[in-house]
Amino acid sequence: MRGGQPPASPPTSGGKPPQAPTETTLDTDTRNRMRIERFHIIDSTLREGEQFALAHFTPEQKLQIAQALDDFGVDYMELTSPLASPQSAADLRLMASRPRSFRLLTHVRCNHDDAQLAIDTGVDGVDVLFATSSALRTVSHGYSIDEIIEIGASVVRRITDAGLEARFSSEDSFRSDPDDLLRIYRAIDKARPARVGLADTVGVATPRQVYELVSMVRRNVECDIEFHAHNDTGCAIANALAALEAGASHIDVTVLGIGERNGIVPLGGMIARLLTLQPELVERYDLEMLPQIDAMVAEILGIEVPFNTPVTAANAFHHKAGMHTKAVLADPHAYEVMDPGRFGLERQILAGHRLVGRHAIRDRAALLGIAFDDDQLRAVTNEVKRRSDDGPLANDELDALLMHWAVTKEGVG
């Protein structure tokens, strides 16, 4: 209390507390803060993706994946460290020797020996990292914050002096002390890296935490900001969006989101998220390639494309419930936030099941050249529901039923 006076009681009406004014639209400043200025894909399928439990890419498969992603239009590709194994070093050198549109990166520990070996492979940029959280520093490297700054700045200068892009990342950023991070990033920024990176290494961050930390870093560095989000708690795409809205410009992704444990941001999911918000950010990518890229990597891994994968899941644009199909047949935007045609796909209206509505049956019948009147339509829809209580009808079964009904007019009279 100021001056020893208690706070004044707010006026009331009828014994009810006063109601705060309701905002029905976002103010202009808020909309502008949320607008994403730049977006670049750093595809890490051949680095983070190799850490997926089922992944073991051959050199030929790496070239196949890289070519597909190059055709898709990714801005960067990150490959496993040349120190990981002799084959990893050979694969990196091979990739560096081939013509490509993307910029080639590799990912190494932040020390001079590793950085020089990476430089010597012929890559376009070197990503270095240091664990910065107290949880990881003692088990990872044992350096103090001052030592991290000294080593990090020196290694970044070595990479940039070689004419390459340097990215310095803090590992486990969201369990690190924010004051430590700011000290590190301010010092590293003076060494002129292309980017500094924030990594939600264990997938612990929330979108709000990401927005706040990235915003803080954005105010304190001049270089670009890269964001790496793990999906342990299912927030990877949401966290990546929050990072972009806060001023990050580069997002690490992998095909199908594969990576250590639950993986990271999936390429298709990130594209889908941005397409619904600022489609101009993804117009330069060949979106029709997404289904074949996901299918190709899934086949290489020996897995199915997960049923809930954005865009490319087998049933991503299938409509089933009667209320949904009625609306979609009238206007696809009613239940589709994305046009499947943008990805070279077609929507499917499912009709051989007990949840079917009359509009879906009418649509299926029309494909067969059949036009039922209202009574016939109601009767045949009920028959489809009755029969499919024992299990869904395949399309040929459904079509045979509709054809039979059209000829015999069963159930009407």
What is the reported pLDDT for 30? Answer: 55
**Sign of the dihedral through C-alpha 376, 379, 384, 385:** positive
pTM: 0.87
What residues are labeled active site? 324
pLDDT band at 6 (very low <50, low <70, confident <90, very high): very low
Helix H or strand E segment including 228: strand 224-229
Beta pairing class for 165-171 and 76-79: unpaired
Residues 339-398 pLDDT 10s: 999 999 998 888 889 999 999 889 888 999 999 999 998 999 898 889 999 999 999 999
Alpha carbon distance 12, 110 (integer Å): 62
Average pLDDT rounded to a whole number, residues 50-62 = 97
What is the reported pLDDT for 406? Answer: 86
CB 363 within 8 Å of CB 351: yes
DSSP 352-371: SSTT--HHHHHHHHHHTT--
In CATH, 318-408 is 1.20.140? no
Maximum distance among all Cα pairs of the chain, rounded to whole angstroms: 92
Cα pseudo-dihedral 318, 322, 325, 330, rounded to 10: 180
Average pLDDT rounded to a whole number, residues 96-114 = 97
**CATH 3.20.20.70 location in the chain:** 34-301
pLDDT band at 37 (very low <50, low <70, confident <90, very high): very high
Q: Domain 34-301: what homologous superfamily?
A: Aldolase class I (3.20.20.70)
Alpha carbon distance 116, 103 (integer Å): 18
Q: Mention every residue, 6+ apart, whose C-beta is less than 8 A from residue 397.
A: 352
- Give strand pairing partners of 318: 348
pLDDT at residue 253 is higher than 70: yes
Q: Which of 249, 293, 261 is nearest to 65 (CA)?
A: 293
Helix H or strand E segment including 183: helix 178-189
**CATH 1.10.238 location in the chain:** 318-408
What is the reported pLDDT for 140? Answer: 66
Residues 293-349 pLDDT 10s: 999 999 999 999 999 999 999 999 888 788 887 877 787 788 879 999 999 999 888
Alpha carbon distance 266, 340 (integer Å): 18
CB 226 within 8 Å of CB 169: yes
pLDDT at residue 286 is higher than 60: yes
